Amino acid sequence: MASTGAAPFWRAAGMTYVNYANLCAKMVRNCLKEPHKSEAISREKVHYSISKWADGKQEKPSVRTDSPDE
C-alpha cells in the first residue's frame, strides 16, 4: 500500500511516470552483485543530442550524456 501513498509525491515533484520508473530501475540495478551489476549498469548509458525549434530555426542543441569521456 506504500506505493499508492507515494505516487502523488513524485508527481508533485514534477516527475513523469517514466522518470520515476527509471529511478526505481536504477535502484534495483545498484542492488545487484558484482558480475551482474556492471553488466546491468552498461545497459543504462544515455547519449543523445536534443534541440528545440522556434519559427523554423533550430536552436542550439544540448547533449544529454552520462559517459565520462565527454
Partner 1 sequence: MAMAALRREGRRFASPLISPRPITAVRSSLISENEIPFGVRSISTQVVRNRMKSVKNIQKITKAMKMVAASKLRAIQVKTENSRGLWQPFTALLGDTPSVDIKKNVIVTISSDKGLCGGINSTSVKISKAIYKLNSGPDKENKYVVLGEKAKAQLIRDSKKDIEVSITELQKHPLNYTQVSVIADDILKNVEFDALRIVFNKFQSVVSFLPTMATILSPEVVERESESGGKLGDLDSYEIEGGDTKGEILQNLTEFQFSCVLFNAILENACSEQGARMSAMDSSSRNAGEMLDRLTLTYNRTRQASITTELIEIISGASALEG
H or E element in which residue 25 lies:
helix 17-30
Non-local CB neighbours of 19 within 8 Å, separated by 6+ positions: 10
DSSP 8-state symbol, 60: P
Select 4 or 38, whichever has its Cβ closest to partner 1: 4
- Smallest gap from residue 39 Cβ to partner 1 (A): 12
Select 38 or 58, whichever has its Cβ closest to partner 1: 58
Residues binding partner 1 (CB under 8 A): 1, 3-5, 7-8, 11, 16-19, 21-22, 25, 43-53, 55-58, 61, 63-64, 67
Cell of 61: 542543441
